[in-house]
Structure 1
Amino acid sequence: MSDIDKLARRYLASWNEPDPVRRRALVDELWADEARYVDPIVTAEGRGAIDDVVATAQRQFPGLVYRQAGAVDCHHHVARLTWELAPAGGPAVIAGLAVMVTEQARLRRVYGFLDPLPPIPSPGATR
């Protein structure tokens, strides 16, 4: 297994880790000091903010898991990971693409794309 494949697996594992302490340890190991995550819904600067984004996604999509949906493609220090969000063993409800910019075997930037884009709550809306 290549280093980029290992990095992609660790990235998805961090999104699936329900224990906040273990998840934060994964985020800290995985992301570079000046980490940044951007998708159509959120921008997160720094490991703490990225961990918050992952925790929020877990609350929004309980019972769903992130899984790799194809081979990781990579050149130079940029990788493309396709993924799905689905119930364990079930069909995907969201598919996505993560463009990962690496630095010394860690994530420096991740740009996420979602299909379909999940509903975004209005500011101040309650569920």
Structure 2
Amino acid sequence: MTYIDARELAGRYVALWNEPDAELRRSAIKELWAEDGGQILQPPQEIREIAAGLGFDSTTLEAHGHDELEVRVTRSYEEFVAPGEFVFQPVDNAIRLRDVVKFNWEMVPAGGGAAVGGGLEVLVLDGNGRIATDYMFPGA
């Protein structure tokens, strides 16, 4: 596998979610994820409860391929970053074990201050160092 610096990868990954330019977001997705790569998200408890109430037993949300990932990242950007209230930042704890990179991230007020949210990211890389599967655990 290509040499991958875990902290650098975490920084690029988190920067993507703050990127205001749609073309740069699209380009970053293609650089970070394998073409058939995906994200599997453990949704917050309230979403899992709503899904269960509707008869769904799935406790994950998934996006696969560059097009779906672009929709996912764009919607997150529009909801959390574009209004100017929050930005995402990596926690300086990224580590790599073979083809897995693990790190935490935080959502902080755009003007500074304590984190108001965050989560754990576990990235499984392919042989080219691109994300094959992205496991996201908000709130972890």
The alignment's TM-score, normalised by the length of structure 2, stands at 0.76
Gaps of 5+ in 2: 44-60
Counterparts of residues 6-17 of structure 1 (less than 5 Å)? 6-17=8-19
- What CA distance in whole angstroms lies between the structure 1 residues aligned with 2:5 and 2:129? 8
Q: Which letter maps to 1:45?
A: H
Give SS of 2:30's match: helix
Counterparts of residues 1-127 of structure 1 (less than 5 Å)? 3-41=5-43, 42-61=61-80, 62-63=83-84, 64-88=86-110, 89-103=112-126, 104-115=128-139
Deviation at 1:34, TM superposition (A): 1.3
Gaps of 5+ in 1: 117-127
How many aligned positions are there? Answer: 115
Q: Which letter maps to 1:22?
A: L
Relative contact order higher in (CA < 8 Å, ≥ 6 apart): 2
Preserved CA contact (<8 Å) 1:7 1:105: no
Identical-pair percentage: 35
Q: Which letter maps to 2:133?
A: R
Q: CA RMSD in A?
A: 1.5
- What CA distance in whole angstroms lies between the structure 2 residues aligned with 1:99 and 1:16? 19
After the TM superposition, which parts of structure 1 deviate over 4 Å for at least 4 consecutive aligned residues?
Answer: none
Deviation at 1:4, TM superposition (A): 2.0
Give SS of 1:85's match: strand
- What CA distance in whole angstroms lies between the structure 2 residues aligned with 1:81 and 1:48? 25
Deviation at 1:90, TM superposition (A): 2.0
